[in-house]
Chain A
């Protein structure tokens, strides 16, 4: 890596003692010698193991659950069903008034995705828990399912869950989050060319080295310590408190050193049920995803479908940009309504476009619930936006990098979601990229600055 100190040198103090210094990481020796303690490195006497019975169907009513054979299995200490969970429906951001609660901890009446948790088995060994889980009998009435975001939005589509009529998140703005800036019709009317393209993606797994999990130990005083690899300690504490109807002071979360998250550990999935199991058995309980569960059950990055319609002038100016985005939330919200909203604010990208019209939808389907991942709400948008920019440049016969210079946002420009641009540096990044890759651009672009509208 090379620092390019000549850019913005007058905005920076470079005489600090510790900031700007490449100090070695204090935890690196522990990591590379295997001495760092992760949550699963702790051992507890009488530790129990929790395994989940999961729906084999994408969408089904539950007619009955029979746990009698599982309970008789050697080593099984307790079998948990929905009736054991004090407040069995939750959503992660309810504490900051983002609702409705839409997801069960353990399903009782219905499952809405393949892999949804139905019964938790707690036993003296992982093997016993696994074997007993296989003996739980769930009688399902399989229902038709919907997997495609556009099909899910059609009238009469299969209803994914009862909390989101129409299969979309109900924003205060209606069935989508909208951004309106300028006059989109006038923009398209003046454009020399109009280009509409559709982009899509499939879900992506965060793939952390350490799988999601926790170990819960009763403290002996009606308090429970939960050793967890969550990315957000208080999301976990607050949600566990609501789900278990336990005051927060009964809960103690310990974590902090995590073997990769990439957004996959922002959800609150394993801790509440493990705390409940520890409470009901009086013993420490471990609930750790296998790699297969991490790949199949944990929330992936949402699949998206993005339609971009642009109006562009022969001289390279973007004059209109209309974007419709669909985020596949899967069966429940988790963090997806925020991801779709963040996406709405991200368009039209780092460019100054006078007329912008954005609609983003958070859509429910019978698929694995998606949630946060590195670049949440933005990664697929950037893919779509920047491939579109390449197509537009070629459409008008312009160099793709020079086309971006013409449209790049600069300090003071108003963005479509009505925040004035400050601290812009796109132009300088492109200038440096042109230099280091020997990508020829006209001198006038190398004379531009993010700080001024001149040049």
Chain B
């Protein structure tokens, strides 16, 4: 009886979006009289930070600081249509809609500024700090604050934009299965190190080294929060979680967090996260959807590490101590290395 060490690897890809009936989202942007920008959506922030990343996409595109952009989420009276927040589609689909709306608003803003500065709009650029100036002549400039005032009180214009992003519906070919249910793909490779107690069947994930490719990390700290949370969820799926421990038997299902097991703070693996960026051709500033992808590769990596440690395959999730002990017993009895 001993503590056995093992190491496993897994590599995956993950699609962005859900293209079952077409995959649309829309956005509206308008400026206030003082040069702040309001984005109206009917999209939902689940706690992953949708509002923050949408404000950064809008700000980058218009050319203002992020704090000048307010996001109004999820009111069907005030916001245009959104398919929803799922399928790793939020940053990509909604972000594209916000990007397009912001481009249109920016164009109006530059036209208003051009009239104030008596130049062509195409000769203007933003400095990202709240000013518009003539290319190559930064002394000839107007603030976005004054531009918005001029639009509202002098020129009678609405600095606003409409954005819509639609992936057309894909109808699978009945015979070949040719279809496009999603768009750009995120990627990951994970190496997990585990320790298995071959007397109790308990597994400790000692470390996970996660490498994720996300298209573009629009806000790296928020990408990190999602990737680290996802990594934890993957380990949780691999070793702990089930609503029916004796599936398909419905008995003994959990009714609360005492009965539905997930790893607690003391069970956290040492987690290292590395991010690569290969911009997608169709995402806002190259973003792909990493929201779901980040929770998947830990599961097989841990399973493979357990085999490396104690020589048994558990092909049923979750990989509980009971399943490992049964497999070890079967292996000892027959010399066979695999079980259910």
Which residues in chain B, 171-229, are within 8 Å of chain A measured between CB atoms? Answer: 172-182, 184-185, 187-191, 209, 211-213, 215-224, 227-228
B81 CB–A CB distance under 8 Å: yes
Which residues in chain A, 87-121, are within 8 Å of chain B measured between CB atoms? Answer: 93, 95-98, 114
CA distance A19 to B285 in the complex (A): 8
Contact A19 B60 (CB under 8 A): yes
Contact A385 B285 (CB under 8 A): no
CA distance A295 to B261 in the complex (A): 12
B51 CB–A CB distance under 8 Å: yes
Output the least CB separation between B293 and chain A (Å): 8
Residue among B87, B211, B222, B224 facing the most chain A CB atoms (10 A cut-off) = B211
Residues on B with C-beta less than 8 A from A391 are: 313
Contact B212 A429 (CB under 8 A): yes
Contact A202 B244 (CB under 8 A): yes
Specify which of A179, A342, A386, A416 is in contact with B304 (CB 8 Å cutoff). A386
Chain A 431-446 against B: per-residue CB contact (8 Å), 1 yes, 0 no? 0110011010000000
A237 CB–B CB distance under 8 Å: yes
Contact A341 B181 (CB under 8 A): yes
Q: A205-B254, A423-B215 are in contact. Are A237 and B9 (CB under 8 A)?
A: no
Chain B 13-28 against A: per-residue CB contact (8 Å), 1 yes, 0 no? 1110010111000000
Identify the stretch in B103-111, B142-150, B276-284 within 8 Å (CB) of chain A at 4 or more residues: B276-284
Identify the stretch in B115-123, B132-140, B235-243 within 8 Å (CB) of chain A at 4 or more residues: B235-243
Contact B184 A303 (CB under 8 A): no
CA distance A344 to B296 in the complex (A): 17
Residue among B12, B227, B274, B313 facing the most chain A CB atoms (10 A cut-off) = B12
Residues on B with C-beta less than 8 A from A178 are: 174-175, 177
CA distance A93 to B20 in the complex (A): 9
Residues on B with C-beta less than 8 A from A63 are: none
Residues on A with C-beta less than 8 A from B217 are: 3, 20
B74 CB–A CB distance under 8 Å: yes
Residues on B with C-beta less than 8 A from A197 are: 315
Specify which of B172, B179, B300 is in contact with A385 (CB 8 Å cutoff). B300
CA distance A256 to B60 in the complex (A): 23
CA distance A300 to B250 in the complex (A): 13
Contact A429 B174 (CB under 8 A): no
Residue among B178, B249, B285 facing the most chain A CB atoms (10 A cut-off) = B178
Residues on B with C-beta less than 8 A from A20 are: 216-220
CA distance A255 to B45 in the complex (A): 9
Chain A 1-40 against B: per-residue CB contact (8 Å), 1 yes, 0 no? 1111101100110001111111111110001000000000
Q: A234-B76, A258-B44 are in contact. Are A425 and B300 (CB under 8 A)?
A: no
Q: A234-B42, A234-B82, A256-B74 are in contact. Are A429 and B11 (CB under 8 A)?
A: yes
Residues on A with C-beta less than 8 A from B153 are: none
B266 CB–A CB distance under 8 Å: no
Q: A295-B254, A349-B13, A382-B299 are in contact. Are A201 and B279 (CB under 8 A)?
A: no
Closest chain A residue, CB of each to CB of B224: A1
Number of B positions contacting A (CB below 8 A)? 135
Specify which of A2, A180, A254, A291 is in contact with B176 (CB 8 Å cutoff). A180
Identify the stretch in A136-144, A225-233, A309-317 within 8 Å (CB) of chain B at 4 or more residues: A225-233
Residues on B with C-beta less than 8 A from A430 are: 11, 189, 211
Contact A21 B260 (CB under 8 A): no
CA distance A3 to B274 in the complex (A): 6
Give 29 A-B contacts (CB < 8 Å), ordered by A residue.
A1-B220, A4-B274, A16-B285, A17-B63, A21-B56, A21-B220, A177-B177, A199-B315, A205-B260, A207-B260, A232-B86, A253-B75, A256-B73, A338-B18, A344-B172, A345-B182, A346-B15, A349-B12, A365-B248, A375-B14, A386-B301, A391-B313, A400-B304, A417-B172, A423-B278, A423-B279, A428-B276, A429-B11, A436-B211
Point out residues on A near B: beta carbons under 8 Å: 1-5, 7-8, 11-12, 16-27, 31, 58, 93, 95-98, 114, 147-148, 171-174, 177-181, 197-205, 207, 230-235, 237, 251-263, 265-266, 291-292, 295-296, 300, 303, 328, 338, 341-342, 344-346, 349-350, 358, 365, 367-368, 372, 374-376, 378-380, 382-387, 389-391, 400-401, 404, 408-409, 416-419, 422-426, 428-430, 432-433, 436-437, 439, 450
Point out residues on B near A: beta carbons under 8 Å: 7-15, 18, 20-22, 41-47, 49, 51-52, 55-57, 59-60, 63, 65-67, 71-77, 79, 81-87, 128, 169, 172-182, 184-185, 187-191, 209, 211-213, 215-224, 227-228, 230, 233, 237-238, 241-245, 247-250, 253-257, 259-260, 262, 272-281, 285-286, 288, 291-293, 295-297, 299-301, 303-304, 307, 313, 315-318, 340
